[in-house]
Amino acid sequence: MQKTVFDNRKITWTRTLRGKLFLVLTGLGGVLLGATLLGSLWMMNKSIATIESQTRSNLSIASRLVSINAEAALLFRDQAIAQRLLLSFETEPVVVGAIMFDANDSEMARYLKTAAYRQALLHGEHDERNHIIRYRRQITHQGEYLGRLIVIADISRLFNQFNWHIAMIAILQGGLLLLLLLLLLLFLNRFNQRLARLGRLTQKIHDEQNFESRVVMSGHDELSEYSSRFNAMLDVIQLQTSELEVFNLQLVQQTLHDSLTGLPNRLYFKVRLKEMMNDHQASRQPFSLTSFDIDHFKRINDAFGHQAGDEAICLFAHELKSLASATVFFARIGGDEFIGLYRGDHDGMRMSALYEDINHNFKQKIRKRLGAGHYSCSAGIACMPADGSTIRDLMKASDIALYQAKANGRDHVLTLRQSVGTRLSSLMTSPSETKQRNFDLGRVRPLFQPIYDVTEQMIGVECLATYAEPQGKLVHAFSFIPWLEEEGLISLLDLEMLGKSLRESHHIRTRNHPDLMLFHNFSLDTIAMPDFPERIALALTEHQCKPEHLVLEVTETIQLNAGTIRQLRRVSELGCILCIDDFGAGFTNPGYFRKLPWGMVKIDKEYIHSINTDMSRKLIDALFRIARLMDMRVVAEGVERQRDFIFLRDQGCDYFQGYYFARPGEPLAIASRHARAGC
């Protein structure tokens, strides 16, 4: 970038256009003083209009340039950037103040040359008598109103100087009116030509948004000096624009990639998966989706520490990155969970071949790092369109295949079709009658995942549904809940789980946790039941549970209608606590808070999984501020590392849930473990 160089020679009065005009007119003398006075008054009015017009034009250009860069500051509420933008007005000699407001009309930043202009900046209007110009500009982004910018300029000094010279001309000069007018017109013509050229150049910069252009003005007077200052302002804007572009690139990198491994993260995966789905719909191009999982990862953490666990994750990620290409995409979606996409893989065989290389190399490298032992990974593959027609179907199918691969002994890969003969697949693929005949609500069992406070004491548990097969295997909820919802049987599961989880949590309370809270999810079908509040009250009485010990989790993305709002309000009136689940996933609509008396929020675990990025930390901080503003307690789920716990604790988080503390387990085991630990 070419740097503007200032000419530091002092601009003497005789070098200004007004000074030269005064000397010429003085030398010629003054004839016909009255005519000269009339001509002087005409010239003064003409110049006033020109100066005011040009000043407004300059204010428009300067505020436009600032507003372009102010969009980012308003979007992220960054007052430091906003303040730096307003300080760029220091290079404009006539600008004496500027203020920026956000969309809520809250002040973001302010610049005042002196305190004398404070009233004019905050409350004033155009003051032609005192030559104060007030300029307003709205700041928008893609049609959305972000805020406004107000700039005031004091051009009284220019007017006073000009008026003084005109008065001197009127007093000292007379005579030779025609020559006087001729000289005056010549000088004004030169002055106006330069102003016009300056106007054309600034308008060109404004229209083309080309901040690399510079104003070239001959001579060494105030216009050339103003041009140099304007060029200096363009230098600052160009530098800030370049820095902003670099920052945006870094921000995109941090937002779309995992900080530990450098792999694409869950957000990037969703974008790429959507692209492949669109390609499939347009050209019927198949692809495979694969879920990877490091076998016995918790044992590695427990035996060697979390640092070794992170190294194992990085070793596995390295193998994935070495095989990534234009057709193969890998991402880390959390913990030891990875996912892959293979364009053109219609039956999963191509990804299966890659899995063998990944697993073989991973085993060798992790043994060198951790020593002898059995280390491996498992994978489940689903193919588009063979195993599903939607993103949800594919994700569910790959999870099922991964679950079956682990159930079959781990250390291998299965496609969904390879696991069709298992009990799990029969639940997914059998007709409705067979599902109902095979599915026995009596075999539904709750697992509890503990929830802890800042002192790492257990304060509650979340109930997770599982299904115990006759052979003893546990089937997780994601495999049977979808078809229960399709068949309209989900309410039976909700009520069955409520009774069992209340009974099990009561046993834990009677041992050494009298204030244990039970976090329980309910479907919209169950909440909409006419007698839902009465069923809750009856269950609480039957299992001797205080209402304040039951926390009902409602996902933020669910659309609440008047009926469900009424039902939940009645449950809240019983004394139960309402909790917004996956807080942040629904973009935190403020209207959501006004509908019900929420007592808690659960931060969506996707924010926790990407907590090391600056963007995620800023978003988490914003979510905490919203929760504190609404006087709600905050639960963070998906906490897997100590540093994540420390960061969230320092942010003021109330409760924590995740593999860093404990995995889901049998209620009896949870009670026994915490009884021994005394917490």
Q: Comparing 98-107, 163-172, 380-389, which segment has the lowest mean pLDDT?
A: 163-172
Treating both helix axes as pointing N-terminal to C-terminal, what angle do 222-256 and 614-629 enclose, rounded to 10 degrees? 90
| 162 shares its domain with 107 | yes
Inside any domain, residue 8: no
Nearest to 400 by CA among 377, 421, 382: 382
| 97 shares its domain with 233 | yes
Pair of tokens at residue 385: 């369109």
Last residue of a domain, one of 390, 420, 450: 420
| 207 shares its domain with 266 | no
For residues 181 and 634, the model is more confident at 634
| 153 shares its domain with 226 | yes
Q: Comparing 582-591, 623-632, 644-653, which segment has the lowest mean pLDDT?
A: 582-591
CA distance 470 to 663: 24
Domains in the chain, number: 3
pLDDT (tens digit per residue) in 315-348 = 999 999 999 999 999 999 888 899 999 999 988 9
Nearest to 159 by CA among 26, 44, 282, 76: 44
Inside any domain, residue 426: no
Amino acid at 166: I
Inside any domain, residue 431: no
CA distance 238 to 229: 14
Inside any domain, residue 428: no
Pair of tokens at residue 198: 């300056």
Pair of tokens at residue 196: 């016009």
CA distance 588 to 584: 5
Distance of CA 59 to the CA centre of its chain: 33
| 278 shares its domain with 234 | no
Strand duo 337-343 + 328-334: pairing: antiparallel
CA distance 601 to 642: 21
Q: Label residue 645 by pLDDT band (50, 70, 90).
A: very high
In DSSP notation, 594-626 reads: HHS---EEEE-HHHHHTTTSHHHHHHHHHHHHH
Inside any domain, residue 214: yes
Residue 131: CA atoms inside 13 Å, Cβ hemisphere, count?
A: 17
Inside any domain, residue 434: no
| 334 shares its domain with 455 | no
Last residue of a domain, one of 373, 389, 420: 420
Q: 289 has which bridge partners?
A: 341, 382
| 48 shares its domain with 155 | yes
Is the entire prediction scored with pTM above 0.85?
no
Q: Is the pLDDT of residue 289 over 70?
A: yes
CA distance 217 to 190: 12
pLDDT (tens digit per residue) in 299-310 = 888 778 888 889
| 155 shares its domain with 113 | yes
Range of the domain at 515: 441-679
Q: What percent of the chain has pLDDT over 70?
A: 80
Inside any domain, residue 530: yes
**How many other CB atoms sit within 10 Å of the CB of residue 61?**
17
Residue 42: CA atoms inside 13 Å, Cβ hemisphere, count?
A: 10
Contact 217, 224 (CB under 8 A): yes
Mean pLDDT of the chain: 81
